[in-house]
Structure 1
Amino acid sequence: MNSIPPIRMLVLTLTGRCNFSCRYCYASDVDAVDMDEETAVEAVMMAGASGERFLLQFSGGEPLLRFPLIRKLVHVVEENHFNAQMQIQTNGSLLTRDIGRFLYDHGVGIGISCDGRPSVMDRTRPVKDGSSSSKAAARGFRHLAEEGIGTGITCVVTDDMVNDLPGIADMAHFYGNVHQVGFDILREQGRGESLHEPSARDMEKALEAVYNRMAMLEKVTGRHIHFTQEDRVAHLYGGGNHEFPQCYAMNGEAAFVDVHGVIYACSSLMGRETYRLGTVKTGRDPDKVREVGAFIKKAMSPCRSCEYFPLCGGGCFSRWLDKEGRVRPSDAECAMKKFFIRKYLEKNR
């Protein structure tokens, strides 16, 4: 039995370099070098070979430091007629109008990392040259807005900024072209090893404040901004697969490629030999793919006994894995998922 599922999520670490030095960056241990073009192209060809639809995410470091390579890979996808949904998650500082227009015109979804008001952003996401990260990101948002391009926001949540979380609603409305906001609980890897996730109580309290503020701003502006987590609940409520649909690693469908062309089960697990699946040159090792998938499935089994599981889809293994290598539930993540399930059901029952 050597067959394995096709790749449905390909994440390319195009560079380990970054112009920011975020306090919680789980990828801070990645070598500060660039992935070569040959490796990147081979990885895309590997994912596209099945003919199945796959998610292609350009990652880093700061991926826009390699924009010429991104442009090349987009053309590879188009020339080979691959059924790829392309995305980029960026700190926004290098987004020009021309780059934004290229990404939009070629169907690359744009997400910008933002933690809220300027005082929070400048503290949690410092720029290496000492300049303001909030101003740098604001330029990126503005350039997209000038081109009529919308974007999503991803906000990382730690225990020392959770009380400032309502500010993300202000910034989402301030920029004017944000259509979606999602939250990413701290992962205890990289620089995140020195930080902590918020308590379940603090997380729920902060989300209630964010939710109420977003509702108030919607009344004032007439603009509705989606919450990523609530959209997922809606999908599962509508009959989506609730058996860990977001965990491509568990399902043997993931290929997270580091700057050297080594394939791991998840971007948060890069550098951990246990979760190494192969290389772009050799392909994924079927035995290793099944071994890692089975381990993750067993580790996450407590989710199945939770009453919220059908509308939750299960927790995230990389957030349950602590800096000591132990697997334990993320109270903050569970609190967040339960919160959005309750909110969705209140509106739809």
Structure 2
Amino acid sequence: MLMVTTACNLSCAYCYEGETHAGKVMHLDTAMKALHMAAASGRAFHVQITGGEPLLAAEQVFTILEQIQRERLSATTALQTNGVLLDRETARELKRYRTGIGISIDGSPHVQEVLRGGSRETYRALTMLEEERIPFRVTAVLADRNVRELRGLLMALYPFSSACGFGLDLLVQKGAAAEKRCHLPRKQVLAAETFRLLETLDLFNRRRERPLEFRERALVLRSWRQGSSRAYCSACSGASLAVTPDGKLYPCTQAVGDPALFLGTVDSPSSAYTALSESTLFSEACTDCPLEGRCPGECPTRLLYNGDAGRELICELYRTIFQYCVQQGDIAV
């Protein structure tokens, strides 16, 4: 995860990095040191370009992508953006480099404006991606202020056939969220709204040529069909690195700035990388859960910062999805 800049052009109510309207830009030398670290194993790897808002450093983004291509590194690439600065030329260049595009959207234009700002520009970018027939995925931060509006996000995405899927990231109680500007949703509300979301999604997908994938539903179905649980992400097993513009290393971007999770620098990496967690969700409470032993797990840094409240919420989310899938005949019990 290359944080090409710490600067951002929006003020998200729950930003775990805090407000950073000015910031450093990653030098190419720093990026390449990190990429060479990843390539040293000889195995393929994935590069997520992020920030801040990475398109504030668009020139550097494309310099990095060009270098990956020139050195023929065995890497897939993707860029996560709020979309405000995403124009036609930039989108075409990303497509040329076969770089996936992820857009951060938390709901309908109204909800997006309240929680992030820049909604007109973001939705204009979606229209442009649709016109260019460039696939994109959406990630929404799940909080008390948008949990009742999840169906509004689906309705907003429905006209865009290039939208491939969406996922829900529980807010991290760090940075702005830790200052109580935004809160975790209530468990009962999350369960009810998730069920309504799933009903609406199935209705929409019957009318769409390309079904819209709900990431968390896909995770539950995969874990159930595999008959086992596995690490939620690469950070669980020590297989990921977040790199700041000044070359500092952390297990993931949500951990950046936490002294307890500092892993050295690209010039002097830690000699021992301790995995954040081998078991990312499970506790004694899981013995009464129908997903026991088949749970997708949860982001380890979210568990770290959100504690038991976050664990209970993600459990409720997965159980609701499971119950809905059983009702629809997608899971046989």
Say whether the fold is shared (TM-score over 0.5).
yes
| Equivalent pair of 2:138/2:167 in contact (CA under 8 Å) | yes
Question: Partner of 2:315: helix, strand, or coil?
Answer: helix
1:232 to 211, 219, 222: 219
Going from structure 1 to structure 2, the CA distance change for 1:163 and 1:299 (only over 3 Å counts) comes to closer
2:299 to 286, 310, 316: 316
Match of 2:176 in 1: 191
| Equivalent pair of 2:161/2:208 in contact (CA under 8 Å) | no
Structure 1 residue 234, shift from structure 2 partner: 3.3
Structure 1 residue 235, shift from structure 2 partner: 3.0
User: Within 1, Cα distance between the matches of 2:305 and 2:330?
Assistant: 35
1:215 to 184, 188, 202: 202
User: Within 1, Cα distance between the matches of 2:323 and 2:81?
Assistant: 31
| Equivalent pair of 2:95/2:134 in contact (CA under 8 Å) | yes
| Equivalent pair of 1:321/1:328 in contact (CA under 8 Å) | no
| Equivalent pair of 1:44/1:73 in contact (CA under 8 Å) | no
| Equivalent pair of 1:115/1:121 in contact (CA under 8 Å) | yes
Letter in 1 for 2:47: L
Structure 1 residue 27, shift from structure 2 partner: 1.7
User: Within 2, Cα distance between the matches of 1:108 and 1:71?
Assistant: 10
User: Within 2, Cα distance between the matches of 1:335 and 1:298?
Assistant: 18
Match of 1:76 in 2: 67
* Greater displacement, 250-259 / 76-85: 76-85
Structure 1 residue 328, shift from structure 2 partner: 6.0
Match of 2:145 in 1: 160
Match of 1:4 in 2: none
With normalisation by structure 1, the TM-score equals: 0.86
Match of 1:67 in 2: 58
Going from structure 1 to structure 2, the CA distance change for 1:344 and 1:298 (only over 3 Å counts) comes to closer
Counterparts of residues 328-339 of structure 1 (less than 5 Å): 329-339=310-320
Structure 1 residue 280, shift from structure 2 partner: 0.7
Letter in 2 for 1:19: N
Query: What RMSD over aligned residues (CA atoms) do the two structures have, in Å?
Result: 2.3
Going from structure 1 to structure 2, the CA distance change for 1:296 and 1:118 (only over 3 Å counts) comes to same
| Equivalent pair of 1:58/1:88 in contact (CA under 8 Å) | yes
Structure 1 residue 264, shift from structure 2 partner: 0.6
User: Within 1, Cα distance between the matches of 2:217 and 2:293?
Assistant: 14
| Equivalent pair of 2:78/2:99 in contact (CA under 8 Å) | yes
| Equivalent pair of 1:14/1:63 in contact (CA under 8 Å) | yes
Going from structure 1 to structure 2, the CA distance change for 1:328 and 1:348 (only over 3 Å counts) comes to closer
| Equivalent pair of 1:74/1:106 in contact (CA under 8 Å) | yes
Question: Partner of 2:138: helix, strand, or coil?
Answer: strand
User: Within 1, Cα distance between the matches of 2:228 and 2:51?
Assistant: 30
Letter in 2 for 1:262: K
Going from structure 1 to structure 2, the CA distance change for 1:327 and 1:210 (only over 3 Å counts) comes to closer
Unaligned 5+ runs, structure 2: none
What CA deviation, in whole Å up to 9, does each residue of 1:218-269 have, x standing for no partner? 344454211011222333344387221x332231112111121110112111
Does residue 45 of the first structure (1) align with residue 26 of the second (2)?
A: no
Aligned residues: 325
1:93 to 77, 84, 89: 84
Does residue 21 of the first structure (1) align with residue 2 of the second (2)?
A: no
Match of 2:330 in 1: 347
| Equivalent pair of 2:11/2:19 in contact (CA under 8 Å) | no
| Equivalent pair of 2:109/2:123 in contact (CA under 8 Å) | no
Question: Partner of 2:226: helix, strand, or coil?
Answer: coil
User: Within 1, Cα distance between the matches of 2:45 and 2:228?
Assistant: 17
Going from structure 1 to structure 2, the CA distance change for 1:310 and 1:68 (only over 3 Å counts) comes to farther
Going from structure 1 to structure 2, the CA distance change for 1:298 and 1:315 (only over 3 Å counts) comes to closer
Structure 1 residue 298, shift from structure 2 partner: 6.8
Letter in 2 for 1:98: E
Match of 1:256 in 2: 242
What CA deviation, in whole Å up to 9, does each residue of 1:11-58 have, x standing for no partner? 011111111111111122667222222111211121112111212100
Unaligned 5+ runs, structure 1: 1-10, 127-132
User: Within 1, Cα distance between the matches of 2:126 and 2:280?
Assistant: 39
User: Within 2, Cα distance between the matches of 1:108 and 1:224?
Assistant: 21
Match of 1:269 in 2: 255
1:102 to 77, 93, 96: 93
Letter in 2 for 1:263: L
Match of 1:123 in 2: 114
Going from structure 1 to structure 2, the CA distance change for 1:35 and 1:165 (only over 3 Å counts) comes to same
Identity within the alignment, %:
27
Structure 1 residue 153, shift from structure 2 partner: 0.8
Match of 2:154 in 1: 169
User: Within 2, Cα distance between the matches of 1:137 and 1:253?
Assistant: 32
User: Within 2, Cα distance between the matches of 1:87 and 1:241?
Assistant: 28
Match of 1:8 in 2: none
Letter in 2 for 1:138: Y
